[in-house]
Structure formats: C-alpha cells, structure tokens
Amino acid sequence: MNLHTSSAAASPAPAPAPSRRVPVARTLGVSRMFGTGSSVVHAVEGVTVSFERGVLSAVIGPSGSGKTTLMHLLAGLDSPTVGSVELDGVALDGLDDTRLAALRHERTGFVFQSFNLMPALTALENIRLPETLGRRVRRNDRAWEQQLVARLGIAPLLDRRPGELSGGQQQRVAIARALAHRPAVVFADEPTGNLDMRTSGEVLALLSELVTESDCGIVMVTHDPVAASHAGRVVALRDGRIVSDTGARSAAQLAAVMLGSTATAGGSGFADIGATAVER
Ligand SMILES: Nc1ncnc2c1ncn2[C@@H]1O[C@H](COP(=O)(O)OP(=O)(O)OP(=O)(O)O)[C@@H](O)[C@H]1O
Ligand SMILES: [Mg+2]
C-alpha cells in the first residue's frame, strides 16, 4: 500500500521537515576504547546521537571527556570498538578505505583550531585545494564559491597567502574551503581556539548563519562556553557519555555546566541543565 497517496497527492509535495530528513551524521551505541587490560581507556561509551542539517551543534565537555574521539568516529576518521556510525545515511562499517575516503571527500568538510591552510598557496588556491586533489567540480559550484567568499568578507584577500592574513581571516578562508563543495556536514574542532574573543564571535556568528544558508549540519567541538552559546543545540559529554542534550543555552548556563562537570562528586551542572533539557 502506498502511504503517500492521500490528501497530499493533489498539491505539490512540501519540502521535508528537517527532522524527517536523513541525519547528516549519527552514531548508534558507539564505544571507543584505547589500550587493553588495566590501562584501557573508555574514551567514548555507549553514545547514540544524530545531527541534522541546518543546525550548528556544539559538543562540549571537559578535557578528556571524549569530544575529539566522538568527532573522529562521526567523521569516519576512526572506527568504533563497538556500535555503528552513519555519514549522510551511509553506514561506515564495511566500507573499505578508498570508499570511506571518497565519502569523506564528497560529503564532509573540516575546520581546525590551527586553520590548516597550506602556507605556499593563496587563499583561493587553499579554498580550491580539495578539487586540485581530485574532488569533482559540480554545476553551480563556482557561483556558490563566489557567494561564500562574499558572505565571509574575504573577496579582497583571495590572492594573499596565509602568512599575510590575520587569524580570523585565515579561519574564514578555512570555512570557505570546508563549505565550497556543499558538504552534508562540517566538523569543527575548537574552531575559535586560536582567535581573540571578538574575532571568535564574528566567526561563530558566520558559522551559525552559514549552517542554514548552505543547508549542511555543523558539529563543533569546544570547551568554550561562549563558543557553544552560538549553537542551536548543545550535547554535553562527560567521561565519554552524553550527559545532556539541549537547545541553545547562554554562555553563563554553559559555563555552569562546564564547571559543574569538573566537580569530583555530586552537584553536577550537567544534571542541573539536563533537568531543563529541550528535546530536539
Ligand atoms: N589515540 C589514543 N590513545 C590512547 N588514548 C587516547 C587516544 N585518543 C584519546 N585518548 C584518550 O581518550 C580520552 C578522550 O580523549 P579526547 O581527545 O576525545 O578528549 P577531548 O574531550 O577531545 O579533550 P580535549 O578537550 O583536551 O581536547 C582521554 O582520556 C584520552 O587520553
Ligand atoms: Mg579534543
């Protein structure tokens, strides 16, 4: 039986609601252990989480809570010890290295704390580096690139090399590189870690606007409550586990979360915020 033939048949099909779309990245019961025996570290433990398009999501938690490990699992840069991961609807278990690399190449973008631009290349050559390395250029990619460059305010800087750019300008170039091929998901690990407060704010504001304009999902790992306060969703980790999953929170609320998380016993800020969690 066709379940989609009732009243909707007469009118044009509405755009799918974001929540109905395929998650851009998701884990199902993933754990990642390092080491063996008495020295085993449970970096990520039993995490089930999914990320959608159009949302800037922050993954927060104290140092060592498993943020980077989880991001690497979501991006297919590491494999779980237990559980499974899907990237834009594709199950990663069983993919060989070539197919995994191709999937990452086409559907993900990365923004790093240290910008990771090639010093010998101009800003524009850096933005196009992935295609120089073999990523195919699709119709409208140049128009989108132009739009992105204008949006990020880097049009006058395209001929400059990274050494001739400020940190904030370099990170804007890195964001253009991450978004130029319209990935399903961008992973950002402490993207404002090397920027001053004002520049951080500008970069984060751009990320939160571009996440809707480019219709990708952005998963940002950070231990900075101010950075996380720009996110529409905040997933908090502690000891490798998700302890809360909420909508947007103020920097002050998130600072309380972070401080509470470092308490050795009781009184967890995570528990407090978890109690008021907004289900998404
Ligand atoms: N390759 C590895 N080998 C052994 N242990 C590891 C490895 N990678 C991470 N770990 C351990 O896993 C735990 C989680 O590390 P992870 O880097 O994910 O934390 P994090 O939340 O990103 O911390 P930070 O905020 O300091 O970047 C830590 O105890 C870390 O020492
Ligand atoms: Mg980390």
Instruction: Render pLDDT for 94-133 as a digit per residue (tens, 0 to 9).
Output: 899 999 999 999 999 999 999 999 999 999 999 999 888 8
Residue 3 inside a domain? The answer is no
Residue 147 inside a domain? The answer is yes
Closest CA to ligand 1's atom 4: 34
Residue 10 inside a domain? The answer is no
The whole model's pTM is what?
0.86
Q: Residue 259: which residues within 8 A CB-CB, separation 6 or more?
A: 269
Q: Which pLDDT score, from 0 to 100, does residue 12 have?
A: 46
pLDDT at residue 8 above 80?
no
Distance 86 CA to ligand 2 centre (A): 21
Confidence tier at 17 by pLDDT (50, 70, 90): low
pLDDT at residue 227 above 90?
yes
State which residues form the domain around 136. Answer: 20-275
Residues with CB under 5 Å of ion ligand 2 are: 67-68
Residue 13 inside a domain? The answer is no
Assigned token pair, 107: 């559907």
Average pLDDT over residues 69-79: 96
CB of 126 shorter than 6 A to ligand 1: no
Confidence tier at 135 by pLDDT (50, 70, 90): confident
* Ligand nearest to C-alpha 224: 1
Residue 4 inside a domain? The answer is no
Q: Residue 264: which residues within 8 A CB-CB, separation 6 or more?
A: none
Residue 7 inside a domain? The answer is no
Measured between its terminal Cα atoms, the distance across the chain in Å is: 31
- At 163, give phi and psi (nearest 5°): -65, -15
Q: The CATH number of the domain where 81 resides is what?
A: 3.40.50.300
Number of independent structural domains in the chain? 1
Residue 12 inside a domain? The answer is no
Q: Which pLDDT score, from 0 to 100, does residue 277 have?
A: 35
Residue 8 inside a domain? The answer is no
